[in-house]
Structure 1
Amino acid sequence: MSALFRAGTLGILGGGQLAQMLALAALPLGVRVVVLEPDPQAPARGCAEHIQAPYTDAAGLERLSQCDAVTLEFENVPLSALAQLEGRVPVRPAASLLVRSKHRAREKEALHEAGAGTAPYALINTEADLPGALERVGRHGVLKTAELGYDGKGQVRVAAQADLDPAWTELGRVPCVLEGWVHFAREVSLGVARTAGGELAFGGLIENVHRAGVLRLSVYLPGDPAEAQARELARRVAERWQLEGLMTLEFFELPGGELLVNEVAPRVHNSGHLTQDGGGVSQFEAQVRAALGWPLHDFAPKLPCAMVNILGWVEGQEPDWQAILKLEGARLHLYGKAHKPGRKLGHVNLVAHDEATLWAQLSRLEMLIP
């Protein structure tokens, strides 16, 4: 019997909103999802089997090992958990890729080996690495922890050599990467999926706008002139890293058009949420297919579309829910998470048949979400 007509099962390490949306994409394909997640209020619990246990729990990992494949919701999964699954069930992306992507220094070295450019950088592992480090990367930089850190956390901007030691102290004097400040024209991202057999599929090039280090807005417009370059860089990295599954590359676009890789996420990405409603295959279905080794399609949207994040609000600034639901072309996605100021609680996708309509509706939507 074909795999598509039996009860396939996908395991996910992590049970947050990305796992929730992966599970929702898997269900129409006849795929049941099992998530291993310690949070009792995990967003994915409403649409997947939820094993509430630590990521290294032996019984939980045993249950995941019975799935057809295991994938990741986030990159900070303990490598020891992947080691316990290795050889028992396909894990896609594999631990070898995660070792690169979750450590900024290793990630940048591996990107250069694949032929992708990055910002200039220097490693800060000990106090002896501080003198002259800022000069080596430029007059301004960003000090980032080598591991962990997301949505603007785990990083400090540095404008003078004298600021470097206090910045390192603020980050706990842990291993860090000092990146030279890039004067970019815009920030963009692109997803790439690859099966174990080497079949590739790409998302569209998406422009991103951040606020206080957190993604605020993503916009996809068909025909972006930088998309071919982004696809080629993504292809090089995916093949060199032997990707199985899906990953997202974040880029800085320089004023002259060159793309530098900023970061790599070995999973679906916040900027790609707009693929849920833009027509065609979503990034979530693409990751499910790639993890299970099923045929792939490019997952760029078919129409102009945008996504606005909904963060936990301060008192008196709650989004206008009724107006959002009334807005033509808007689709509301809430994660079922408890409210907390600054926390990602949901997003709104906006789709239009032409660019002019998209921009007009987007200006209205942004007024409804503080």
Structure 2
Amino acid sequence: MSIWTDRHVTVVVSGGIASYKALTVIRLLMHQGAQVRVALTAHATEFITPLTFQTLTQQPVATDEFAMTDPEHVVHVALADWTDLMLVVPATANLIAKMATGIADDVATTTILATTAPKYVVPAMNSHMFANPATTRNLKQLVADGMTVLDPATGLLAEGYVGHGRLPEPPEIVAWLTSQLLATATELPLHGKKVLVTAGGTREMLDPVRYISNRSSGKMGYALAQVAREMGANVTLISAQTALTPPEGVHYVQVTSAAEMLTQVEQAFDATDILVMAAAVSDYRPVEMAAQKIKKQPEINGLTLELTETTDILKKLAGQKHNQFVIGFAAETQQLLANATRKLTAKKLDLLVANDVSKPGVGFNGETNQVTMLSQNFAPITTGVLAKKAIARTVLETAIAQGATQKV
């Protein structure tokens, strides 16, 4: 489930060139599971029709406070009472001024005034209008009244020049809203917990153009970071280079080598509640990186590389833990349970997630995985072949059930 599942969201749209972006915001919220209804100012209907919003939401659109389509309910009061969260996007200078002074002269402003739900405001206007002292004063008043305001972006405006006042892109707006909700959702199982996740396959450079690595795509680690965030955690994702986009709302740190990953993990570990080492860290690195590209030498048949072991990050950190819950991963191709059990014991882990990457649909690069979770005091748990996000949720729920959030 998402933080948005079945949440009643009223989107108030005012009249600006950015009004069309509200449609994408609404679609993204609905995709997350929200139920959305819309109230339009009269000026908004000059830019985009009520029918467009009605078709998208499959809900009636409020445009007239005197409409009596349902005689048993006053339009703006019924909508206000239905609302769990109100989003004003875009919020023009005119609407912001009305909100700051409590003016209620249409269905949008009367609904805003009538609802007791949290209100989130996303301004969008010409940069000179945004910088005007009156707008600055009005926005301060909204914040003083308990509303949350997103600072607009700097970019190309409708007038043809760059300025501060452009509406942020819809994914940024939804990510901001999600972060606001997660920060106050005390009922979520990882609320207030700090989760550190590593992901991807590290690279150990042989020369300026070649490296030793592995087939890890990082998908499992990224899924764990995303799910941990959805469960309310403050998440840091330390990732080797991948082709993936970091999940919204996580603190992202990119590294290349095992040594760089060790440095970053050590810096964050003391403040961590749960460490999830999903990265495929290289076991070996060259003793010395060649300063120049290694060339073929026809007179020599073959090439000998001198390698040395990298630091075992998981073992080192698990040995230093004081109250952290440490989760490790083991990618095996044979004797899964025997090898995983040895790793669990040798590295003093709280939970080990093992998978047989020789099986189809399991492990590297794919969209699915199958794991067996081992711990010292609980029976092994084996999942079916599931999407990696589902595996991530199962891993974190298992960790919570086994005391991950109870350590102090």
Same fold (TM over 0.5): no
If each structure's strand is expressed as a fraction of its own residues, which one has the higher value?
Answer: 1
- With normalisation by structure 1, the TM-score equals 0.32
Structure with more contact order per residue of length (Cα contacts < 8 Å, sep ≥ 6): 1
